[in-house]
Amino acid sequence: MLRIDLGLVRAGAVETPGQVEPSDPLWKGTEVSLAGPLLIDGRFSSAGEGKYYWHARMAAVLRLECRRCLTPVDAPLSHDLQLVFVAEEDALDEDVGCYVIPSRAAELDLRDAVREELVLAMPRFVECSPECRGLCPECGANLNAGPCGCRPRRDPRWGAFDGLLPGRAHKD
């Protein structure tokens, strides 16, 4: 239940089990691509007048692309949420993890916070393997499948830096 009846919460904490499907319009306009439903668990509780806590855990398998060879990579993600929700009139600062509830709202949809938090928690990039050889800069072939037949040359992205980065100088 990701839609919270705030009146109910004042009487006691509520559990917040829920899931969001990969095809849900919630992900529109974001980079999020899921291999399966996002699962959420947690408790939503009152923390005094106009203030609430949501402690939750979300788990999903993200469908990302290897940044070198562009192969789809499924990346499991599990993330703890410790969020604060405050009524509009009490919102003094724009803290990270702090969400504003419109004044006099009777209900709160946690799904917007789920979207925000997932976008923040997503890895910026993944690699299919630490040894990924990437794509040939000449013909675009996936070099993990074997040599492509182009004449061997240094990767132009790194060539200019060879010798400047001690760790990389003798890697090949």
Q: d(Cα 58, Cα 38) in Å, to the nearest integer? A: 7
Letters for 108-137 (x = contact with Zn ion by CB under 5 A, - = none) are: --------------------x---x---x-
Least distance to Zn ion, CB of residue 12, Å: 49
Alpha helix ranges (H) inside the chain: 6-10, 111-121, 156-159
Residue 148 as a binder of Zn ion (CB under 5 A): the answer is yes
Residue 165 as a binder of Zn ion (CB under 5 A): the answer is no
CA distance to 15, 22, 23, 104, per residue, from 43 (Å): 4, 23, 25, 22
For 84, list phi and psi in degrees, rounded to 5.
-120, 135
* Cβ-count burial 136-153 (b if 16+ within 10 Å, e if not): beeeeebbbeeeeeeeee
The identity of residue 67, as a single letter, is R
Residue 139 as a binder of Zn ion (CB under 5 A): the answer is yes
Least distance to Zn ion, CB of residue 153, Å: 10
Residue 169 as a binder of Zn ion (CB under 5 A): the answer is no
Least distance to Zn ion, CB of residue 75, Å: 13
Select from 26, 32, 58, 69 the one that contacts Zn ion (CB under 5 A).
Answer: 69
Least distance to Zn ion, CB of residue 74, Å: 13
Residue 75 as a binder of Zn ion (CB under 5 A): the answer is no
Binding site for Zn ion (CB under 5 A): 66, 68-69, 128, 132, 136, 138-139, 141, 148, 150
